[in-house]
């Protein structure tokens, strides 16, 4: 079988096109079934905000048109001419390499982000549940997950923050050590503060409080985090309870002043307070940074950290790419070995049938044999067929293990062996 992958991603297509090609989760099972009906032996669909990709296994001589048909199926507002310039098609080695790079987050908008691995695993589980994962995709995807794990272990490519919200969490960890049982106050209800709150809660922060001039939006955010709403006029009075404060308000003036924070710190008896200002213009008066035990970071601080970490990830990616190349070669060798295995098994079975047949035919002429003679006869005849099989089997395995084989030469050898020994198709 041959492996092929067709898709678009954040580098090849604008968001508007990716949105129009995206598969709703409920449509993927039907698309997988449709692909199999059109000739794909195995199929996988990955659809995220940054990529839409279809991977499939086909018979060696099959056309790849079902990939394109599946991608456009049901998209009545799109034409082939609109989509084709944005597509990439990978086959065999390059398809394997691409899947390994995707799993390891080397093909992501932010190198090293962990979400894509989970999304790929979900797509794999969905395809398996609906019967479109066979031995080829199972082998390749399982290896892709292991490659991603190896890269994260050996390169630390995902260890540093590369988003503003995640950078805030790293800084909070530096200040508090552990975030277990820390209280978070969100002032304002913007997307940036929501993202920071998500990361903080994953890191162990136990309670989230929300305050916003518009009470209804505060209630919405409170539902997301199972949090509590504080009336906007009351939050300065409650400030001393909070370990971490995230501000993302559209207020035209500072919502936190040195005097307000000084009172809160006095009530906290020198326990530190971490203040993250994600608003533009700023919500937190920079003068607060001069207060002992107050740690203030604004967008510029967080952006500098993320850019520094992103550059570090790019350097680590070079090592990761070398690991991918090594693993691709190993995967190819494994798949080539699997391709020659049926011929090796057929050859061994055929020679064994010949051996057993001739033993039966001539055993009567040998007269009675004792146990030692029976064992010697078995060993001798097995040795003969093993000697005959050794040459072709060794050569097929050698070519399969070769990192840069001549694929046509390898196929010709397998065909020649099957013809010489008159092996039946399995």
Higher model confidence: residue 100 or residue 423?
A: 100
CATH number of the domain that 17 lies in? 3.30.460.30
Residues 171 and 292 in one domain: yes
pLDDT band for position 137 (cuts 50, 70, 90) = very high
Assigned token pair, 326: 């090594």
Residues 358 and 399 in one domain: yes
CATH number of the domain that 282 lies in? 3.40.50.720
CA 28 – CA 43 distance, rounded (Å): 11
Is the backbone of residue 368 left (phi > 0), alpha (psi -120 to 50) or beta? beta
CA 76 – CA 276 distance, rounded (Å): 46
Tally of domains within the chain: 3
Q: Of 143, 159, 175, at which residue does a domain stop?
A: 159
Residues 267 and 337 in one domain: no
pLDDT band for position 406 (cuts 50, 70, 90) = very low
Residue 338 scores a pLDDT above 50:
yes
CA 128 – CA 330 distance, rounded (Å): 24
Cβ 273 vs Cβ 185: under 8 Å: no
Within-domain flag for 177: yes
Assigned token pair, 35: 């692909």
Q: Of 297, 319, 351, at which residue does a domain stop?
A: 297
Short-list 52, 130, 56, CA closest to 92:
56
Residue 305 scores a pLDDT above 90:
no
Residue 331 scores a pLDDT above 60:
yes
Residues 100 and 21 in one domain: yes
Within-domain flag for 383: yes
pLDDT band for position 344 (cuts 50, 70, 90) = confident
Short-list 197, 209, 51, 43, CA closest to 130:
43
Percentage with pLDDT > 70 across the chain = 95
Q: What is the CA radius of gyration of the chain?
A: 31
- pLDDT value at residue 49: 80
Residues 138 and 22 in one domain: yes
Q: Which of 15, 25, 49, 89 is catalytic?
A: 49
Within-domain flag for 325: no
Residues 212 and 68 in one domain: no
Q: Is 362 a catalytic residue?
A: no
Residues 219 and 138 in one domain: no
Within-domain flag for 322: no
Residues 236 and 136 in one domain: no
Higher model confidence: residue 393 or residue 287?
A: 287
* pTM to 2 decimal places: 0.63
Short-list 227, 158, 160, 240, CA closest to 193:
227
- pLDDT value at residue 162: 64
Q: Residue 86: which residues within 8 A CB-CB, separation 6 or more?
A: 8, 12, 13, 17
Q: What is the mean pLDDT of the chain?
A: 87
Within-domain flag for 364: yes
Residues 197 and 265 in one domain: yes
Residue 17 scores a pLDDT above 80:
yes
Residues 143 and 17 in one domain: yes
Residue 85 scores a pLDDT above 90:
yes
Residues 198 and 272 in one domain: yes
Q: Which domain holds residue 352?
A: 332-420
Within-domain flag for 207: yes
Residues 148 and 16 in one domain: yes
Higher model confidence: residue 126 or residue 62?
A: 126
């Amino acid at each position: 079988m041959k492996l092929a992958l067709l898709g678009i991603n954040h580098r090849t297509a604008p968001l508007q096109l990716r949105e129009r090609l995206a598969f709703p989760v409920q449509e993927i099972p039907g698309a997988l079934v449709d692909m199999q009906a059109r000739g794909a032996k195995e199929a996988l669909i990955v659809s995220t905000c940054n990529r839409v990709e279809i991977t499939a296994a086909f018979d060696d001589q099959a056309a790849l048109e079902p990939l394109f048909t599946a991608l456009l199926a049901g998209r009545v507002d799109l034409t082939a001419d609109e989509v084709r310039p944005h597509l990439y098609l990978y086959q065999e080695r390059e398809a394997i390499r691409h899947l390994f790079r995707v799993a390891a987050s080397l093909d992501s908008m932010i190198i090293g982000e962990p979400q894509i691995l989970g999304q790929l695993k979900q797509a794999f589980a969905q395809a398996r549940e609906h019967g479109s994962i066979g031995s080829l995709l199972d082998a390749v995807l399982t290896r892709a997950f292991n490659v991603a794990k190896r890269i994260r272990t050996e390169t630390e490519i995902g260890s540093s923050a590369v988003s503003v919200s995640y950078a805030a969490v790293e800084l909070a960890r530096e200040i508090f050590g552990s975030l277990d049982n820390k209280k978070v106050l969100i002032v304002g209800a913007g997307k940036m503060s929501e993202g920071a709150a998500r990361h903080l809660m994953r890191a162990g922060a136990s309670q989230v409080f929300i305050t916003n001039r518009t009470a209804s939006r505060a209630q919405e955010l409170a539902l997301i985090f199972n949090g509590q709403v504080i009336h906007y006029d009351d939050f300065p009075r409650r400030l001393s309870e909070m370990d971490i404060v995230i501000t993302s308000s559209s207020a035209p003036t500072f919502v936190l002043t040195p005097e307000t924070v000084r009172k809160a710190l006095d009530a906290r008896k020198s326990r530190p307070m971490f203040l993250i200002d994600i608003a533009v213009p700023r919500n937190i008066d920079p003068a607060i940074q001069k207060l002992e035990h107050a740690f203030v970071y604004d967008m510029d601080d967080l952006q500098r950290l993320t850019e520094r970490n992103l550059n570090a990830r790019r350097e680590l990616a070079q090592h990761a790419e070398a690991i991918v190349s090594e693993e691709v070669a190993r995967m190819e060798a494994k798949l080539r070995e699997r391709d020659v295995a049926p011929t090796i098994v057929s050859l061994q079975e055929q020679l064994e049938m010949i051996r057993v047949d001739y033993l039966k035919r001539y055993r009567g002429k040998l007269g009675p044999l004792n146990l030692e003679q029976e064992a010697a006869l078995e060993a001798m005849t097995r040795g003969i067929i093993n000697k005959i099989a050794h040459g072709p089997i060794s050569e097929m395995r050698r070519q399969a293990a070769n990192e840069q084989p001549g694929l046509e030469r390898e196929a010709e050898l397998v065909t020649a062996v099957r013809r010489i020994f008159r092996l039946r198709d399995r």
